[in-house]
Amino acid sequence: AGGVTRGADGVVTVGGIDVRALAAEFGTPVYVLDENDFRTRCRAWRDAFGPGADVFYAGKAFLSRAVARWVNEEGLNLDVCTGGELVTALAGGMPPERIAYHGNNKSVAELERAVEAGVGRIVVDSFQEIVRVADVAARRGVRQRVLVRVTVGVEAHTHEFIATAHEDQKFGLALSTGEAEEAARRVLKLGSLELVGLHSHIGSQIFDMAGFEVAARRVVGLLRRLREEHGVELPEIDLGGGLGIAYTSDDDPPDPWSVAKALTEIVTHECEAAGLAVPRLSVEPGRAIVGPTAFTLYEVGTVKPLEGLRTYVSVDGGMSDNIRTALYDAEYSVTLASRASDEAPVLCRVVGKHCESGDIVVRDAYLPADLAAGDLLAVPATGAYCRSLASNYNYVPRPPVVAVRDGRARVIVRRETEEDLLRLDID
């Protein structure tokens, strides 16, 4: 048994397990992750791009030791962006040479750890960082492979906070000002660095391939200039992550095969036109792999109908386990998961237990009029950037992640306890 289905009694099951049983065993709120779905999506991305390309799972979307192990077992590489993600990836058994390390402000200590571990790629993001990585590598007597992160100047059609390729933001080195080329030139001059390629990431939750195509064209343009001006042909291009997923039924995301086809075609075409050997392509999907594989299960507490407005349905979590609605105006759907109801749906807002009015999980939802305390609600597509962005706001312990596979459920990240929270406090 696999996947999420609803029985004739209205009860949702995942991987053959009834959500009521999950709630009884693990408590609520709980992130329920379908491990087979995760693995299937990893394989889909790997198969779609084939052996001539590399797929890096972006760990920022959601990482744990178990996840790092699955990613490794499914033959993907892993993208990390902090020392903490790096440690988790290594603890999960990810071979260091298959890790790429990103970030706009990696500390010297983090760089030392990464170089020491032998990470395969460090993506350099500033002129200062080029010097820092070179120094660290030189001190260790190694030649570190790096990519230069290029700001291609694309306006991705997504929320401002998650768009990253327009010029006025913190990431990368701009193509238009010549800084990206200058960065590549500086890396090439440093003996402790090996410049293997260029990197671009245009943003997140993107549906339209047009932005990626412009990015690919511009990155190849820089490859050509590097050959013409500096006599080097770089062997790799990384086009980043950012592929969108369906949060509601209105969304129609691209599948891995159409993404792979579009990116491979444009890179091949542009390189052939420029007389360049076609470089090895890599991509870094995070959300597209893990996002759809999990849902959050909440228990309903207070139900407050506001005359002439809507019904406020309070659940036992909120913005501490899903900040995305408050932060990005993200849209989610929600469903009554623990029983059937014949009652007409009424307009509701699903809110959390936190002490602010912006604590909204699902802004607009139709739920049965007889919704009551104790009912279980499932909010789908919470696998990406929910647990990883979770906080302890209001001293709320963070929920566990339970992985379901072949009719068995197991905790891969345990629930925080109040003891965990108090452990950090000093009188």
State the nearest-atom distance from the C-beta of 221 to ligand LLP, in Å: 20
Among 286, 292, 318, 400, binds ligand LLP (CB under 6 A): 286
Sequence letter at residue 282: S
Q: Does residue 207 touch ligand LLP according to CB under 6 A?
A: no
Name the DSSP letter for residue 343.
Answer: S
Of 108-116, 201-209, 228-236, 345-353, which segment contacts ligand LLP by CB under 6 A?
201-209
42 among known catalytic residues: no
Q: What is the distance between the alpha carbons of residues 392 and 264, in angstroms, rounded to a whole number?
A: 42
Q: Does residue 121 touch ligand LLP according to CB under 6 A?
A: no
Q: Is 352 annotated as a binding residue?
A: no
- Of 244, 284, 288, which is closest to residue 383 (Cα–Cα)? 288
Q: Is 242 annotated as a binding residue?
A: yes
Neighbours of 107 (CB within 10 A): 12
Q: Does residue 58 touch ligand LLP according to CB under 6 A?
A: yes
Of 5-13, 139-147, 210-218, 382-390, which segment contacts ligand LLP by CB under 6 A?
382-390
Q: Does residue 328 touch ligand LLP according to CB under 6 A?
A: yes
271, 348, 355, 386: the catalytic one is: 355
Cβ–Cβ under 8 Å, residues 32 and 4: no
Q: What is the distance between the alpha carbons of residues 168 and 171, in angstroms, rounded to a whole number?
A: 9
* DSSP states of 167-204: SSSSSSEETTTTHHHHHHHHHHH-TTEEEEEEE---BS
Among 242, 253, 279, 400, binds ligand LLP (CB under 6 A): 242
Alpha-carbon 249 to chain mean position: 20
Of 114-122, 240-248, 266-274, 374-382, which segment contacts ligand LLP by CB under 6 A?
240-248
Q: Is 414 annotated as a binding residue?
A: no
Q: What is the distance between the alpha carbons of residues 122 and 99, in angstroms, rounded to a whole number?
A: 9
Q: Does residue 162 touch ligand LLP according to CB under 6 A?
A: yes
CA dihedral 63, 66, 72, 74 (to 10 degrees): -100
- Of 355, 350, 338, which is closest to residue 304 (Cα–Cα)? 350
CB-based burial label for 14 (10 Å; 0-12, 13-18, 19+): buried
Nearer to ligand LLP, 113 or 324 (CB): 324
Q: Does residue 288 touch ligand LLP according to CB under 6 A?
A: yes
State the nearest-atom distance from the C-beta of 201 to ligand LLP, in Å: 4
Indicate the annotated binding residues for pyridoxal 5'-phosphate: 242, 284-287, 385
Which chain residues interact with ligand LLP by CB under 6 A?
58, 60-61, 79, 102, 162, 201, 204-205, 240-243, 284-288, 324, 328, 384-385, 389
Indicate the annotated binding residues for substrate: 287, 324, 328, 356, 385
As annotated, the active-site residues are 355
